[in-house]
Structure 1
Amino acid sequence: MPVTHRTALRFIPVIAAVALLATACATPAGGTASPAPTESAATRSPEPTPSATPSPIETQATNEEIGLPSSCDDIFTGELRATLEAELPPLNDPGVTMYSTENAEALTVLESGVPSLRCTWGTPSDRGVATTVSIVSPADAKLITDSLTSSGFAAEEASGGEYFRTSQQTLSMDEQVVELGETHFFRGNAWIATRWVNYSPDSYTPGIVAQLWP
């Protein structure tokens, strides 16, 4: 398999849904109604006022959601940025055309126009990384995760979200061993999709996650 990069990365975020529970009081039917005791205005307890404080569920969902980063400089910082600049420069070489995923359902979502930011590292060669950060709906997130699961991706809960990973080895046209794979991360309303060839540091996606959810 050729090791040249195909590009068309995009990003898809996952929007967390919040369930609001409403309760209603029902008046029992039947029987003879007896007069209710009366209270003076002075002794009557004041009516409770609704609290404006969001519920823990609402707060958690809001804290998990993020806005789409404005540039790749917003997701690669600190030690991760220094490592990538030393080991796999440059950032966003226009010649790198690798997609951030080859999963059909994931590509369909990326190409549907969801808000996305695409970033790459490396040059058109046998090493490179392509990442897309996207904001996605719960329905799109489920479509992607179901497809990744059925395609054999390994799933793991970590970093406050869920990772899906796969990797393999193949031979290039000149019979050189090529290692390649994908890592996907879902949290809140965001989806981080990464495809890599011959370069996959363990700190890569966790470093992006730490930057987006400090």
Structure 2
Amino acid sequence: MNARFPAGAAALLLVAVLTACGPASDDSGNAGGSPSPSAGASDGPVETGTPSPSPSPTAKGVALPTDCRAILSDDVLAQLEGTPLNDAAFGPSGVGTDGTLTCVWADPRADTTRLVTTISAMNRGPALDMLNALADTEGFACFTPDGGTRCEKTWPNTQYPVTDGRTLFWRDDIMIDTRYSNLSPSGYTSSIVAHIFD
């Protein structure tokens, strides 16, 4: 699944794929997206200890999720067992005022082991720009599973002997953006995709 494409070929592939994923197919009524963690709105997300608001529908009608556990399969949750979710030590998490869901799986006592996922609305244009830039300038491998576009890359942590990485999945105006270090449950992104789109 980690096929490598030359930068130019990956960019052309993304243009073709994302163009095909445009609003022409409206029968599912699905839409939504999420920027990268640094591209969020100025208002930070609220803590998950407060009641979750109703899911925010995207332009195409797909509701953004509001529960970090509900979007994962039992198998993935079992792999995360014992890892704290949305500990206050890591700052704002949960559902933001714009509907973005931020899930932080990490123990504040650990130096590097963590997984942070942001799910929010992102239109095709900004998504295309982001994914093309990652493929062209940062060496991300991109492919087209589950009716969307997925880009991913792993690298050695600069301080510890563990693997860091980032996986992004875009479909129907929803971006699922996960950054991780030494914590990469098998089937994690696929589980989220199945929950949101199936």
What TM-score does the superposition give when structure 2 sets the normalisation length? Answer: 0.64
The partner residue of 1:18 within 23, 38, 41 is: 23
Indicate the RMSD between aligned Cα atoms, in angstroms.
Answer: 2.6
- Partners of 2:191 and 2:26 lie apart in 1 by 27
* Alignment equivalent of 2:89, drawn from 81, 84, 95: 95
Structure 2 residue corresponding to 1:75, chosen from 47, 50, 71 = 71
Query: Are residues 1:118 and 2:102 paired?
Result: yes
3-state DSSP of counterpart to 2:90: coil
Please point out which of 174, 180, 184 is paired with 1:200. 184
Q: Secondary structure at the match of 2:194?
A: helix
Q: Over residues 138-187 of structure 1, what are the superposed CA-to-partner deviations in whole Å (9 max), with x where a residue is unaligned?
A: 22111211211122110011122111001111341xxx313101000011
Matched, 1:139 2:128: no
What residue ranges of structure 1 are gaps of 5+ in the alignment?
Answer: 1-13, 20-56, 100-112
**Counterpart in the other structure of 1:58:** 26
Change (3 A) 1:98 1:145: farther
Superposition deviation, residue 63 in structure 1: 4.4
Give the Å deviation of 1:116. Answer: 1.3
CA gap 1:201/1:170 in 2 versus in 1, 3 angstroms = same
Which structure would you say has the larger RCO, counting Cα contacts within 8 Å and 6 or more residues apart? 1
- Pick aligned residue for 1:210 from 184, 194, 197: 194
Matched-pair identity in %: 30
Cα distance, 1:192 vs structure 2:
0.2
Distance 1:149 1:115 in 2: 28
- Tell me how far 1:76 sits from its aligned partner: 2.6
Partner secondary structure for residue 26 of structure 2? helix
Amino acid at match of 1:71: D
| Aligned partner of residue 58 in structure 1, secondary structure | coil
Runs (5+) with no aligned partner, structure 2: 1-17, 32-59
Which of these two proteins has the greater Rg computed from alpha carbons? 1
Q: In 2, distance between residues paired with 1:166 and 1:211? A: 23
Q: Contact 1:156–1:163 (CA<8 Å) still a contact in 2?
A: yes
TM-superposition CA deviations, 1:121-141 (whole Å, max 9, x none): 121322110000011112211
Q: Which runs of 4+ in 1 moved over 4 A?
A: none
- Structure 1 residue 97, shift from structure 2 partner: 5.4
Could you give the per-residue CA deviations for residues 92-114 of structure 1, whole angstroms, max 9, x where no partner exists? 11223599xxxxxxxxxxxxx96
1:177 aligned counterpart, secondary structure: coil
2:50 paired residue number = none
Equivalent residues of 1:98, 1:130 under 8 A apart: no
TM-score normalised per structure 1: 0.59
